[in-house]
Structure 1
Amino acid sequence: MRLLTKEFYTLAELQAAWEMADHDVQYLIATGRLKLSIVVYSQTLVTMPSGPHLPTDAKRRVYSGMLDLNASDAVAILRKGETQIACFSMPDGAAGHFPYYFRDQTVIKVDELMVRHAERERVERQWLASRASDATGPFGHSADYRAVHMHDRKFTLGPKQAGVIKYLHRAHMLGQPWCSGRDLLEHVGSEGDRLRDLFGTGDKWNTLILSDGRGLYRLAIPTQQ
């Protein structure tokens, strides 16, 4: 069954579709890679045109539709569960804010966060799909990362090995491929001192992982700098 193409998605359903951890989503938002929005209905707003403007350029209007949040406000909502906002961006690029007497109505909760369809496509094209590879590419994996391939080599991984590869793959997709060995060991709950020991003496280590020789590691697939 083909899924419905929506004008916007809740952040929760998009995160589920991307199978992305909370901290990865916050990273995309905090760095400006993913813009969040809210939907308002018959809301009184004050808007200013984009670019240089004078106070007399402000216009009061009643608006129904989507408003784009500043990255700092979006991150605050995610971290606190809700926050009060005053400023936002209109779809035409104009700056806007809620009138002061509506301030008590501007508390935005995390379940009100939305992502426009066009924004989803942009992020998937620019930051996710362009940094990932499917089963026909140099790297592929099963849903649980217990079965992976690198080029023409196939491997079956243990739970902790799979956890490391999944973590490194997420880092690769986010454009931050190099990860600390200590962080990786801690992430999978390993009590070992060296990441290499987790993979043993076979070909898994040399085929799947690259080291910078200073405690950082990444998947052995091309990165886009």
Structure 2
Amino acid sequence: MDIEKAYFSVEEILKRWSIPEEDLVYLAENDELRLSIRVYGLPLEFGEFAEDGSGRVHRIPTERYCYSGLLDLHASDVFRIYRAGEAYLSEFREGQSDYVTLWGAVDAHYAVIGDLVLRRDERDRFELKAGFSSGGQPEDRAFIASHDYSEVRCNGCRFQFGPIQAAVVRVLHDRALAGQPWQNGKLILSEAGSKSLRMADVFKSKSNWRALIQSDRRGNYRLGID
């Protein structure tokens, strides 16, 4: 049974990508891949950077609370953890804030190599960027999709889709995995919530959409994957 995970251990990623740990460390230390840690009840300050009239940058707090969840690490901290096997952390990354730092009279957060994880969306982002399949090798014909199918890489092309387009691709992919790749276009569009029942209309904003979706010219469609 597959578990829908929000993050993965380093060991799981190494197995999925079939790469040595040194390569993953290289990517993280050079900020090409963001590793994270899981924390519970950690007092944090979230904020923004603001520049004053003299050009000096100041921190402006926006929130302070005890946070539980995933925090991305700075590349320099990943470097320290892998060199020493451990590190005491006080600064973190979070997508909606310019900075994240410990708040109040609290000791620096202790982290070791075994604490490092990779978020699902970061895994998907990197796989799409690098064109990696789960076997770890770039393949022109590999089908790689983000969790919500808003980004897809297939047949040497990279696609970014809106909600309806992504829903169509998701349904076609589900059917392909179930061994029923050819599907009636109107039924698929209806299931995806499209008001239009013409595939060409739904994907008209993507000039190369036929590199991903094939037609039998009888109203049936499938993904162009083996």
TM-score, normalised relative to structure 2: 0.52
- Secondary structure of 1:73's counterpart equals helix
Query: Residues 51, 123 of structure 1: CA spacing in aligned structure 2 closer, same or farther, 3 A cutoff?
Result: farther
Query: Residues 120, 88 of structure 1: CA spacing in aligned structure 2 closer, same or farther, 3 A cutoff?
Result: same
Q: Which of the residues 82, 93, 96 maps onto 2:97?
A: 93
Structure 1 residue 51: Cα displacement = 5.4
- Secondary structure of 1:119's counterpart equals helix
CA contact (8 A) 1:67 1:91 kept: no
**What residue in structure 2 maps to residue 132 of structure 1?**
138
Is structure 2 residue 71 aligned with structure 1 residue 67?
Answer: yes
Structure 1 residues 67-76 or 47-56, which shifts more?
47-56
**Structure number with higher strand proportion:** 2
Task: Read off the aligned partner of 1:84 and give its amino acid letter.
Answer: Y
In the alignment, the residues of structure 1 paired with residue 127 and residue 60 of structure 2 have an alpha-carbon distance, to the nearest angstrom, of 40
**Structure number with higher helix proportion:** 1
**What residue in structure 2 maps to residue 83 of structure 1?**
87
CA contact (8 A) 1:66 1:91 kept: no
In the alignment, the residues of structure 1 paired with residue 68 and residue 83 of structure 2 have an alpha-carbon distance, to the nearest angstrom, of 27
Structure 1 residue 73: Cα displacement = 0.4
In the alignment, the residues of structure 2 paired with residue 56 and residue 132 of structure 1 have an alpha-carbon distance, to the nearest angstrom, of 43
Aligned CA RMSD, in angstroms, stands at 2.5
- Secondary structure of 1:28's counterpart equals helix
In the alignment, the residues of structure 1 paired with residue 117 and residue 20 of structure 2 have an alpha-carbon distance, to the nearest angstrom, of 17
Structure 1 residue 79: Cα displacement = 2.3
**What residue in structure 1 maps to residue 24 of structure 2?**
25
Is structure 2 residue 124 aligned with structure 1 residue 118?
Answer: no
- Secondary structure of 1:115's counterpart equals strand
TM-score, normalised relative to structure 1: 0.52
In the alignment, the residues of structure 1 paired with residue 119 and residue 130 of structure 2 have an alpha-carbon distance, to the nearest angstrom, of 16
- Secondary structure of 2:66's counterpart equals strand
CA contact (8 A) 1:37 1:116 kept: yes
In the alignment, the residues of structure 2 paired with residue 17 and residue 7 of structure 1 have an alpha-carbon distance, to the nearest angstrom, of 16
Structure 1 residue 81: Cα displacement = 1.3
CA contact (8 A) 1:89 1:95 kept: yes
Task: Read off the aligned partner of 2:38 and give its amino acid letter.
Answer: V
Query: Residues 47, 128 of structure 1: CA spacing in aligned structure 2 closer, same or farther, 3 A cutoff?
Result: same
**What residue in structure 2 maps to residue 170 of structure 1?**
none
Q: Residue deviations 1:116-147, cap 9 Å, x none?
A: 1000011111125287127x79xxxxxxxxxx
Structure 1 residue 29: Cα displacement = 0.9
Q: How many corresponding residue pairs?
A: 134
CA contact (8 A) 1:29 1:74 kept: yes
- Secondary structure of 1:29's counterpart equals helix
Residue segments in structure 1 that go unaligned for 5+ positions in a row: 138-225
CA contact (8 A) 2:40 2:68 kept: yes
Q: Residue deviations 1:197-220, cap 9 Å, x none?
A: xxxxxxxxxxxxxxxxxxxxxxxx
Query: Residues 33, 100 of structure 1: CA spacing in aligned structure 2 closer, same or farther, 3 A cutoff?
Result: same
Identical amino acids, percent of aligned pairs? 28
- Secondary structure of 2:34's counterpart equals coil
Query: Residues 12, 113 of structure 1: CA spacing in aligned structure 2 closer, same or farther, 3 A cutoff?
Result: same
